[in-house]
Amino acid sequence: MRIIQISDTHLSRGKPHFADNWPPLAAWIAAQNPDLVIHTGDVTVDGADVEDDLRYAAELMRSLGVRFRAVPGNHDVGDAGHPRQPVTDERLARWRTYFGPDRWIEDIEGVRLIGLDAMLLGSENREEATQAAWLDAVMEGAGGREIAWFLHRPLFLDSPDEPDGYWSVKPEPRARLSELVRQHSVALVASGHLHKAYQTVCDGTRYLWCPASSFLVGPETQPAMAGERWLGAVRYEVNGAALEPSIVDVPGLETYWLDDVIDEVYPPSPANSPAPG
Ligand SMILES: [Fe+2]
Ligand SMILES: [Fe+2]
């Protein structure tokens, strides 16, 4: 079995700045002949406010002709505590209309894949507690399968003790999730959002940052952190109860820099910064 993870496609009919990277990505996915595609969010440029971005991106994902699962990113459903685009029931409902559930499980061979809505973490939306209870249940019910998580935002950049920031999960929900990772020996935590490629193993768990396929974020906009700035995807081969990831190049992707077009794509506003990932 083969799974492809893609992330941060930032698609929009109205803002086609990164649209040229979709055809080579779609062609590459077809050539990989995967059994499942997982999108780890920021599917859209601004699905949080523009419903057509969700509609359009869902059409493109369906045009792949491969079964897929997706979890939302901050640009798809808003973000926990964001002053202008908070996660709301309405935004979550719109996501579900076009992409289905924002949390899900897939059992493939000896592996349980768990998709999580990272935008709820720290939001105090009532769905946050519902998701937490659901997560406990699906972890308990994994029946000895290896467990892999997929979510938009990484749990942490450098260390589970780092302070609050735009680029990783907030400290309080992070602590609860880290405890679950430890208790259940989670094998993999795979994320997007950073538009960087990276993997490391920490206390027996692999943390993998799937690169974007849309654009990179320059050092003026994104602080120094681990990982490499290149566009691509992740291929997983499933062998029994083992998930073997490779972060790979996708031929034909053009390197766009958000910094060059940020005023058009994500116009700055006081409540909007930092905007990009
Ligand atoms: Fe993001
Ligand atoms: Fe992104």
Asked if 74 and 101 count as a contact pair (C-beta separation under 8 A), the reply is no
What distance in angstroms lies between residue 212's CA and the mean position of ligand 1's atoms?
10
Confidence at residue 119, expressed as pLDDT on a 0 to 100 scale:
98
Structure tokens at 268: 């700055």
What distance in angstroms lies between residue 32's CA and the mean position of ligand 1's atoms?
26
What distance in angstroms lies between residue 41's CA and the mean position of ligand 1's atoms?
7
Confidence at residue 268, expressed as pLDDT on a 0 to 100 scale:
81
Confidence at residue 270, expressed as pLDDT on a 0 to 100 scale:
61
Number of H helices, E strands in the chain: 7, 13
Confidence at residue 142, expressed as pLDDT on a 0 to 100 scale:
97
Alpha carbon distance 241, 268 (integer Å): 46
Alpha carbon distance 110, 205 (integer Å): 17
Q: Across the chain, where does the E strand assignment appear?
A: 2-6, 36-39, 68-70, 104-108, 111-115, 146-150, 188-191, 198-202, 205-209, 215-216, 233-239, 242-248, 256-257
The ranges of the chain with pLDDT < 70 are 270-275
Question: Could you say which ligand is closest to the alpha carbon of residue 167?
Answer: 1
Measuring CA to CA, which residue among 207, 219, 249 is closest to residue 231?
A: 249
What distance in angstroms lies between residue 45's CA and the mean position of ligand 1's atoms?
10
Confidence at residue 277, expressed as pLDDT on a 0 to 100 scale:
77
Confidence at residue 89, expressed as pLDDT on a 0 to 100 scale:
97
Model pLDDT for residues 231-246, shown as the tens digit of each residue: 999 999 999 889 999 9
CA angle, residues 120, 248, 77, in degrees to nearest 5: 20
Question: Could you say which ligand is closest to the alpha carbon of residue 118?
Answer: 1
What distance in angstroms lies between residue 135's CA and the mean position of ligand 1's atoms?
22
Confidence at residue 272, expressed as pLDDT on a 0 to 100 scale:
55
What distance in angstroms lies between residue 42's CA and the mean position of ligand 2's atoms?
5
DSSP conformation letters of 101-146: -SSEEEEETTEEEEE--GGGTTT--HHHHHHHHHHHHHHHTTTT-E
Cis peptide before 274 (omega within 30 of 0): yes
Asked if 28 and 66 count as a contact pair (C-beta separation under 8 A), the reply is no
Q: Output phi, psi for 143, to 5 deg.
A: 60, 35
pTM: predicted TM-score of the whole model, two decimal places = 0.97
261 CB-near residues (< 8 Å, 6+ apart): 17
CA angle, residues 70, 76, 82, in degrees to nearest 5: 130
Alpha carbon distance 164, 155 (integer Å): 11
